[in-house]
Chains A and B, each alone.
Chain A
């Protein structure tokens, strides 16, 4: 199922356009993050995308079918929505809440069948929250409730999952749990779209990013969109993007430095440079190797050499690739490799000519 938005624009009643020219495409297994300052319309954008709000202009479609023309039932068995976890939840148990996710697949007058009960149990187990089954949602912590809401969405067996600020208001550990869950779901082939306040979560998790900046929508590969220049433009904050190296990966982080002075905001456009690089990937998960191959295929025009080696004794798959192409595309590829769960990926760039001299 491919979700596509073409020329989307939205305005509140009699107001100016909140955002315009939204164009995006999300394929199975892809993760799209939506960024933007408070009030830029991130949640509104998600709602328009799913047809909960009507686009002022443009349209969204699923495999070419306009979402606005789909029946509620057909739409909501494909797309599932995880709203922001509110504190005021009805006093249903986690199990009942997850079961509610099956409603779209039930007849109007029917109650859940044995198969639905089993599905709900399965989803709770998949997310590792079976222990919460009989706990009341009204008595849960924010982190627990968020996981239950994700479980409810999954119970509908969607191919596209839309999450509204899933990791806001959560502590450190729970943020990690929620984000890991999203990554895991994407790796299982579900397309995930999520709003976030954290540019680094976008860098560490998503293939693609959409940044709302003053009514404009910047869209592309995450490494190309979440840049210091774009952050300054959208948020009015001078930030530094750095990276932290672990044994297996290079993690990007974003540190806000100070409010933008307004002067010299627009950095001069750098001419695109070609670079030479070697990417080494170790996949600890055989299924992920499949996904890596698909990704490499997408960037095959840059690949000048490649060696793949299954190392069965240790159950890992090792891939070396040599790349020659625009630096931004190489960065995009290495970023997208690094976000796959169970994969270690690092990129080494060849020294440039002036460095060699």
Chain B
């Protein structure tokens, strides 16, 4: 038996090679995504274009520079951020509710944000205005969920139930907005937006949407050891000596802000929040010290790849939500069959 002894450190932390891989993968994916597209650009040109832009010099021809810097780069940054945020939020919610089916939308964030965006389109707001109403309504939806479901003597299950109610309430409101929207221009815009697209990416949106995501990810990463307490029962978690109430509140706030910010920037991108955390659980186990960084990194990689495919394969861009499901679901099932089932 003693020969089976495993170095405990290696057993619960990521190895150096794994850490490095998780850092490099998103960069490689982003670089590759800068090259691919309807027009192929060589890595050298990409590098020169970015370099030239930073130095303020003309290094490559104008179209290439424009494509790399103004079209592809913001979009890839958005994909990195949104993928990381959705995957991290999904992971956090699954642990918080000790429920493998929890997604970033469990508390009704996406429903609220979708309503906000639809409302923004209906009222004829600009892109930034739509983003702001979406974010605000997303947060409002979760606040309503929390007010409705939490309270003395009620468990987290009633919060989840309340989230489902609030979510359906807001999806009804979205339908209402669609109903009154102008069928010629607004209705298609709303429908297309709801399908999720990273097309609208620009530096202005990013400047507004990135901070909540970056802060959320950073806080959760710092709390990664404590997050292991989330799936435990109330008394167990409390008797560890940690302030569980505060931990739960911080987790909900971070995950909500990240999700709301995502939905505000690129609509409802489904699946990432469910698929990636589960894939990471199968590969890295349930310990958040390794699970959380893996979810951040692989979520970003996944969405960059999917979005690159979405904008490259056909002349008319495929909505990204459709692709996340088409690519994600079979891959997930394959992984599940090979690794012996999901676990939480």
B9 within 8 A of A: yes
Selected contact of B12 from candidates A13, A47, A91, A93, CB within 8 Å: A93
Contact (A92, B239) CB under 8 Å given A110-B225, A133-B8, A136-B343: no
**Pairwise interchain contact A76-B240, C-beta atoms closer than 8 A:** yes
- Pick out which of these stretches binds chain B: A79-87, A211-219, A280-288, A291-299: A79-87
User: Could you say which residues of chain B place their CB within 8 Å of the CB of A110?
Assistant: 225
B5 within 8 A of A: yes
**Pairwise interchain contact B286-A111, C-beta atoms closer than 8 A:** no
**Pairwise interchain contact B289-A109, C-beta atoms closer than 8 A:** no
Q: List 11 contacting pairs A-B, 8 Å CB cutoff, sorted by A.
A: A52-B235, A83-B233, A83-B235, A92-B286, A93-B11, A95-B8, A105-B241, A109-B223, A111-B13, A121-B8, A130-B5
CA distance A121 to B5 in the complex (A): 11
CA distance A80 to B105 in the complex (A): 36
User: Could you say which residues of chain B place their CB within 8 Å of the CB of A121?
Assistant: 8
CA distance A357 to B31 in the complex (A): 105
A268 within 8 A of B: no
**Pairwise interchain contact A103-B6, C-beta atoms closer than 8 A:** no
Contact (A90, B286) CB under 8 Å given A72-B243, A103-B242: yes
**Pairwise interchain contact B12-A90, C-beta atoms closer than 8 A:** no
CA distance A76 to B289 in the complex (A): 23
User: Could you say which residues of chain B place their CB within 8 Å of the CB of A73?
Assistant: 241
Task: Give the residue name and chain of the B residue nearest to A114 (CB).
Answer: B9
User: Could you say which residues of chain B place their CB within 8 Å of the CB of A136?
Assistant: 343
Contact (A76, B224) CB under 8 Å given A91-B343, A130-B5: no
CA distance A18 to B149 in the complex (A): 28
User: Could you say which residues of chain B place their CB within 8 Å of the CB of A101?
Assistant: 240
B1 within 8 A of A: yes
Counting chain B residues whose Cβ lies within 8 A of the other chain, the interface size class is 35 or more
**Pairwise interchain contact B6-A133, C-beta atoms closer than 8 A:** yes
Selected contact of B239 from candidates A81, A88, A105, A108, CB within 8 Å: A81
User: Could you say which residues of chain B place their CB within 8 Å of the CB of A326?
Assistant: none
Contact (A76, B228) CB under 8 Å given A83-B233, A90-B98, A91-B344: no
Which residues 108-140 of A have a CB within 8 angstroms of B? 108-112, 114, 117, 120-121, 130-131, 133-134, 136, 138
Which residues 1-55 of B have a CB within 8 angstroms of A? 1, 4-6, 8-9, 11-13
A99 within 8 A of B: yes
Q: How far in angstroms is the closest Cβ of chain A from B42?
A: 42
Q: How far in angstroms is the closest Cβ of chain B from A125?
A: 10
CA distance A65 to B9 in the complex (A): 38
Q: How far in angstroms is the closest Cβ of chain B from A305?
A: 47
B232 within 8 A of A: yes
User: Could you say which residues of chain B place their CB within 8 Å of the CB of A77?
Assistant: 241
**Pairwise interchain contact A104-B240, C-beta atoms closer than 8 A:** yes
**Pairwise interchain contact B98-A103, C-beta atoms closer than 8 A:** no
User: Could you say which residues of chain A place their CB within 8 Å of the CB of B229?
Assistant: 100, 103
B236 within 8 A of A: yes
Contact (A75, B241) CB under 8 Å given A99-B12, A120-B8, A134-B11: yes
Selected contact of A131 from candidates B1, B232, B238, CB within 8 Å: B1
Task: Give the residue name and chain of the A residue nearest to B287 (CB).
Answer: A96
User: Could you say which residues of chain A place their CB within 8 Å of the CB of B235?
Assistant: 47, 52, 81, 83
A50 within 8 A of B: yes
B202 within 8 A of A: no
Q: How far in angstroms is the closest Cβ of chain B from A49?
A: 12
Contact (A81, B236) CB under 8 Å given A92-B228, A138-B343: yes
The 5 closest A-B pairs by CB, nearest first: A104-B241, A76-B241, A81-B239, A91-B343, A90-B231
CA distance A258 to B189 in the complex (A): 77
**Pairwise interchain contact B11-A95, C-beta atoms closer than 8 A:** yes
**Pairwise interchain contact A72-B241, C-beta atoms closer than 8 A:** yes
B285 within 8 A of A: yes
A226 within 8 A of B: no
**Pairwise interchain contact B8-A111, C-beta atoms closer than 8 A:** no
CA distance A93 to B235 in the complex (A): 20
User: Could you say which residues of chain A place their CB within 8 Å of the CB of B238?
Assistant: 52, 72, 76
Which residues 209-248 of B have a CB within 8 angstroms of A? 222-226, 228-229, 231-233, 235-236, 238-243
Selected contact of A96 from candidates B1, B6, B228, CB within 8 Å: B228
User: Could you say which residues of chain B place their CB within 8 Å of the CB of A32?
Assistant: none
Contact (A52, B239) CB under 8 Å given A91-B286, A92-B286, A106-B225: yes
Q: How far in angstroms is the closest Cβ of chain B from A162?
A: 9
A192 within 8 A of B: no
User: Could you say which residues of chain B place their CB within 8 Å of the CB of A133?
Assistant: 5-6, 8, 11
Selected contact of B226 from candidates A79, A103, A131, A138, CB within 8 Å: A103
Contact with B along A20-61 (1 / 0, CB 8 A): 000000000000000000000000000100101000000000
**Pairwise interchain contact B241-A108, C-beta atoms closer than 8 A:** no
Task: Give the residue name and chain of the A residue nearest to B222 (CB).
Answer: A109
Given A79-B239, A91-B344, A95-B12, 5 new contacts (CB under 8 A): A52-B235, A108-B223, A108-B242, A117-B9, A131-B1
A202 within 8 A of B: no
User: Could you say which residues of chain A place their CB within 8 Å of the CB of B240?
Assistant: 76, 100-101, 103-104, 156
**Pairwise interchain contact B242-A104, C-beta atoms closer than 8 A:** yes
Q: How far in angstroms is the closest Cβ of chain B from A43?
A: 10
User: Could you say which residues of chain A place their CB within 8 Å of the CB of B239?
Assistant: 50, 52, 76, 79-81, 83
Task: Give the residue name and chain of the B residue nearest to A88 (CB).
Answer: B98
